[in-house]
Copies of this chain bind each other. A is one copy, B any other.
Amino acid sequence: MLQGHQSWKFTKRPVLLSTAAIVGPDEGKGPLAEDFDIVHGDITMGESTWEKSEKVMMEEAAKLAIKKAKLTKEKVNFYIGGDLMNQIISNSFAARTLAIPFLGIFGACSTSMEGLALAANLVDSGSADYVMAGTCSHNSTVEKQFRYPTEYGSQKPPTAQFTVTGAGAAIVAKQGKGPVITRATMGRVIDMGITDPFNMGAAMAPAALDTIEGHFRDFKCDPSYYDLIVTGDLARVGSEIIQALFIKHNLKIDPAQYNDCGLMMYDREKQHVQAGGSGAGCSATVTYGHLVKKIQKGELKRILVVATGALLSPLTFQQGESIPCIAHAVAIEHEGGA
């Protein structure tokens, strides 16, 4: 149900019945490797094009999430998915394979939490028994589409981010055992005039702040409610900016209480990932692989995942437009509850 202006409070305890996280070789060398269900050693996944590789990962994540939930795909009412590819082809084509009624969404790298929020909403309102939310990205598809083909070998500035090769899927159910989705806040589009597609973190940080402020305004609570507030993929530059903004806007979020999926994915000392990870698959695999496991173990009780997205296209950049950004937030809590 509506809470405040832009948020939903889920009162029927929609459950995260299962999650699956599939990643590529670089992510398998990072500190979260053990939390992923499948680590591909070959970044092509045996396919003849990068786009097909990305789609294969998405299908794997979806099928594994369904299997872990002990369901068949015929039981899943709706599949809510999207990705960074033009015409969200990775998810549209995975939806063709799965034949589950499909709602395509697009929120760039915020797609993960846009999908999870809508999935929880549909289950909470009795509009579905089971909903799957999924998203993915592949380093080579995204670099090729938004910047340069990886084969070109162009150099990157230190503010650039490294697109995660990974796919995440989650099954939300009206009953069962698992972490509970309790709240969501849907973000506005915020544009601070930044035009550099090699500095997404700086562009996205104000959108994340806007959604976090909206969340606490709508729920009339403060950051102490959460053990962890984790942004999607602000990486080094954006996460430093947002922490400065927390102080400026008088949001009492302790550095130990904040993290960013783009910082968590790689070992930035040893891996060449510039400012850190990004991509729709970043927040999806870190949340569905790593964070959900910590909630299941009771190491985290309440988290707020704030997935951030830059809504630019190469064409808007070429036409001189700045980068509009958005962030969507979802609260996931240990089933033991408050």
A contact set with B: CB distance below 8 Å? 1-2, 5-6, 8, 49, 51-52, 77-78, 82, 85-89, 92-93, 95-96, 99-108, 114, 118, 121-122, 124-129, 186-191, 214, 311-316, 319, 321, 324, 326
Q: For A108, what are the chain B residues with a Cβ–Cβ distance below 8 Å?
A: 87
Contact across chains for A102 and B319 when beta carbons are under 8 A apart: no
Enumerate chain B residues within 8 angstroms of A126, measured Cβ to Cβ: 1-2, 125
CA separation between A188 and B102, bound complex, in Å? 6
Inter-chain CA distance A25–B171, complex, in Å, is 46
- Expressed in whole angstroms, the Cα–Cα distance for A114 and B106 within the complex equals 13
A196 nearest CB across to chain B (Å): 17
Q: List 11 A-B contacts (CB under 8 A).
A: A2-B126, A5-B101, A6-B78, A86-B313, A86-B315, A87-B312, A89-B316, A93-B311, A93-B324, A99-B189, A105-B106
Number of this chain's copies in the complex: 2
Contact B186 A102 (CB under 8 A): yes
Selected contact of A105 from candidates B86, B89, B103, CB within 8 Å: B103
With contacts A6-B78, A188-B99 taken as known, whether A51 is within 8 angstroms of B114 at the C-beta atoms is no
On whether the beta carbons of B93 and A106 are closer than 8 Å, the reply is: no
- Beta-carbon nearest neighbor of A108 in chain B: B87
> What is the distance, in angstroms, from A266's C-beta to the closest C-beta of chain B?
25
Residues in B with CB closer than 8 Å to A188 are: 95, 99-102
- A49 to B316, alpha carbons, bound, how many Å? 10
